[in-house]
Amino acid sequence: MIGKLRYSIVFRILSGIVVLLVLLSVFIGTIGYQGFTSALLDQYADGAFRTAESAAELVNADHIPRFIESGGKSSEYQAAYFSMDRLCNSQGVTFIYVIQPDLTDYGHITFIFSTINHDSHYSLYDFGFVRATTNDDYRVKYRRLYEEGSERELVIRDQGYIQTDPHITAMVPLKGADGRTKAILCVQRQMDVLDAARRQYIRNLFLSLGAVVLMTILVYGAYIYRSLLFPIQTITGEAERFADESIPSGNKLTDMILNRDEIGTLAGSVDRMEEQICSYMENLTRITAEKERIAAELDVARKIQAGMLPQLFPPFPDKTCIDLYATMHPAREVGGDFYDFFLVDDDHLALVIADVSGKGIPGALFMMISDILIRSEVKPGITPATALTRVNERIYKNNRAEMFVTVWLGILELSTGKLQASNAGHEYPVIKRAGGSYELFKEVHGLVLGALDDMVYKDYELKLEKGDSIFVYTDGVTEATDADNRLFGTGRLLDSLNRDKDVTVKGVLDEVLAGIRDFVKNAPQFDDITMMCLYYKGTDENENG
Amino acid sequence: MNITISQNGTEEFVALEGRLDTLTAPDLEKELNPLDGVGSLCIDCKDLEYISSAGLRVLLSLQKTMNKQGTMTLLNVRQEVMEVFELTGFTDILSFA
């Protein structure tokens, strides 16, 4: 991990700096090299020209035709040659020579004088030797000296392909008394000294650059390690440890890292973050435990509530004149809806469906009370309306939470099919006559139970014939809502009920539930869905009682 | 659910918009209580789309409070909400205009 960090941070910072230093050095070095070369070259050329001017004084240009006539044997020529040779050897130049180019295209030169430094490894051109002009550079300069009145020209040969070592040639015209150029005196000086100086310069440049880079890496690297790498490594190590172990460490990062920069801030933040995460996790653990406890309690509550509702079907196997089925699907663990049925006496079956104004635990508690009160008030000889009136009084008296419950209560005389019922603010029952369709039965409604004192409820009566059915439900059915907030409604309820007319009572409830599920699709269930269906088979068949 | 309340002396006017259900009924209860000194409470139900039993409970509670100190009237109740009032017998205890 340390190696990885070293690569990712210090290595990157240092290599960046090294690259920058090298680029800067190359830039400065190039400028320096050019300045250095140009200054040295000037100095070099000056020396060569001074020698050339001294040598030019040795030769009388007007006497050159005589030198040619004598074939370089005249005493004046010999004297000038001797002086020039001495000059050549005393001034440290390679050649001093005098030439006459042909004046048509300066393509050839004829040597008049040619002296050489005795230390050089070159050989002399003899008097009168003719050779081709070396290149166009020379040719242009010869022409200037002859035709344009130039007083000095310089040719530098230190680049490209050359037969000799790098050198410069300083040229001055030898003019006659008429002021016209008669010949050219050239001084060739080797550039070996200049070259050596340049090499020395470059070597020094790179040596010092290397030293600077090395120093930078050592000094700056150590600094970076102490002020950057070590703290970051410490923070990273602590963060990784915390990610793995999730327990606070004994020592704070801010005690180990004394930086007052962003890294110090980071260390402080990591310290604080660890503290907060730890306390958050403690809270979460506590809350989770609490939630689990509540969930466990709710589960028990759900079982208690489910145990309240009769769930064994058929409930009264010996009562063959009826088929009865009921279901409740709570929206949460426990619900506020309930259904109930029980025999009041041997010939009377009480049917209850109810909806409490609340869900969850409060709804479930209120539902339990309501169911118990209804069971205790429904007695032989008591009509449903009287029972509801009494239940209302008892609920109202202790109704601190101002909750209420809608109840449909019916008492069916099994032997005759006479159904006496009363409705305290509950949904209309749905009735199907034998061979017909399910239709809403719009009876008189009283107020919900528990809302107001001194309410009086009314009974109504209808007669179930053989083959008739009655279906009661809670608003969780009609108010089942789809994703667009549309309600299932009584229309769709009747459609579902009438879809298959020959189905059993359980089948009827399944049809409705399927219809609801099909309608709401993925929308969540908000309300408890409770339904009960009774099919009256009549008393033609043999039955006890 | 949007609840807009305006007051004029002892008259309080409430406009309800949206669904009055388990989620929104506690808001209405909180917004309106206490009804100290209110002699006349008008609830405009023109834009009330739906009412659940939790909403009925709040209306019942308001009605009980107003029975002691004045009147409560519901205005412009829609057909579908009116059906709920009829079904639950609330038409017997609420006043409509």
Name the nearest CA neighbour of B60 among B37, B87, B88: B88
What is the share, in percent, of chain A residues with pLDDT greater than 70? 96
B50 touches chain A (CB under 8 A): yes
**B53 reaches A (C-beta below 8 A):** yes
> What distance in Å separates the CA atoms of residue A150 and residue A147, rounded to the nearest whole number?
8
Model pLDDT, residue A126 = 86
Q: Which of B19, B54, B60 sits opposite A358 (nearest CB)?
A: B54
Q: How does DSSP classify residue A459? A: -
For tokens 């000095």, the residue is: A152
In this complex, do A479 and B52 lie within 8 Å of one another by their Cβ atoms?
Answer: yes
| CB atoms B50 and A357 under 8 Å | no
Per-residue pLDDT, averaged over A410-424, amounts to: 95
Q: Model confidence over A380-392: pLDDT tens digits?
A: 999 999 999 999 9
Does residue A161 have a pLDDT over 70? no
* Å between B57 CA and nearest CA of chain A: 7
- The arithmetic mean of pLDDT across residues A113-139, rounded, is 88
Contacts of residue A445, defined as CB under 8 A and 6 or more positions apart, other chains included, come to A423, A424, A425, A426, B86, B87, B88, B89
CB-based contact (8 Å) between A452 and chain B? yes
Positive/negative CA dihedral, A391, A392, A393, A394: positive
| A33 or A153, higher pLDDT | A153
- What pLDDT does residue A8 have? 67
**Residue of A444, A448, A422 whose CA lies nearest to A356:** A448
Positive or negative: CA dihedral A498, A499, A502, A508: negative
Task: Tell me the percentage of chain B whose pLDDT exceeds 90.
Answer: 44
Q: Out of A284-288, B27-31, B43-47, which region has the weakest mean confidence (pLDDT)?
A: B27-31
pLDDT at A540: 63
Q: Which amino acid is at A85?
A: D
- The CATH number given to whatever domain includes residue B31 is 3.30.750.24
CB-nearest partner of B88 from A402, A425, A452: A425
* Interface probe, candidates B81, B88, B92, chain A, greatest A C-beta count within 10 A: B88
Which positions ≥6 away from A393 have C-beta within 8 Å?
A453
Contact list in A for residue B57 (CB cut-off 8 A) is 357-358, 402-404
B2 in contact with chain A, both atoms CB, cutoff 8 A = no
Name residue B20's beta-bridge partners: B51
CB pair distance less than 8 Å for B90 and A426: no
Where in chain A are the domains?
2-196, 246-302, 309-536
Out of A250-254, A305-309, A370-374, A514-518, which region has the weakest mean confidence (pLDDT)?
Answer: A250-254
CA separation for the pair B74, A115 (Å, rounded):
132
Give the best residue of A423, A448, A525 to mutate against chain B (max B CB count within 10 A): A448
Q: Is the pLDDT of residue A187 over 70?
A: yes
Q: Which residue has the higher pLDDT, A160 or A224?
A: A224
Its ipTM equals 0.86
Domain range for B30? 2-96
Residue A82 makes CB contacts below 8 A (sequence gap 6+) with none
Query: Token pair of A408, please?
Result: 């449909």
Per-residue pLDDT of A532-542, as tens digits, reads: 999 999 876 44
Among B22, B53, B60, beta carbon nearest to A355 = B53
CB contact under 8 A, A404 and B93: no
Distance CA A348, CA A222 (A): 99
**Residue A344: its H or E element:** strand A337-345
User: How many domains would you assign to chain B?
Assistant: 1
The average confidence (pLDDT) of chain A is 88
DSSP state of B6: E
Buried b (16+ CB within 10 A) or exposed e, A50-77: ebbebbbebbebebbeebeeeebeeeeb
User: Is pLDDT of A179 > 80?
Assistant: yes
Q: Output the CA torsion sign for A421, A426, A428, A434.
A: negative
The reply to whether A428 touches chain B by the CB within 8 Å rule is yes
Mean pLDDT over residues B49-60, rounded? 88
Q: Note whether A337 contacts B: Cβ–Cβ < 8 A.
A: no
Give me the sheet containing A529-536, strands edge to edge. Answer: A322-329, A529-536, A469-473, A430-432, A438-440
- Structure token pair of residue A67: 């030198």
Residue located via tokens 């009605």: B63
- Tokens, residue A438: 């399910």
Q: Do A402 and B61 touch (CB under 8 A)?
A: yes
Q: In this structure, which amino acid lies at residue A195?
A: D
Report the gap between the CA of B41 and the closest CA in chain A (Å): 20
- Residue with more model confidence, A110 or B22: A110
Q: What percent of chain A has pLDDT over 90?
A: 50
Q: What does the alpha-carbon distance between residue A531 and residue A322 come to, in Å, rounded to a whole number?
A: 17
In this predicted structure, what is the pLDDT of residue A167? 87
Q: Is A41 on the interface with B (CB under 8 A)?
A: no
Mean of pLDDT values over A72-80: 89
Chain B residue numbers touching A450 (CB-CB < 8 A): none
**pLDDT tens-place string over residues A190-213:** 887 777 887 888 888 888 888 888
A544 pLDDT more than 80: no
What are residue A96's DSSP bridge partners?
A115, A187
Q: What is the average pLDDT across B11-17? A: 92
- Which fold would CATH assign to domain A2-196? Beta-Lactamase (3.30.450)
Mutate to test the interface with B, among A357, A409, A486 (most CBs of B within 10 A): A357
Spatial separation of the C-alpha atoms in residues B34 and A273, rounded to whole Å:
44
Q: Which CATH architecture has domain A309-536?
A: 4-Layer Sandwich (3.60)
Instruction: Single out the residue of A208, A205, A200, A198 nearest to residue A35, CA to CA.
Output: A198
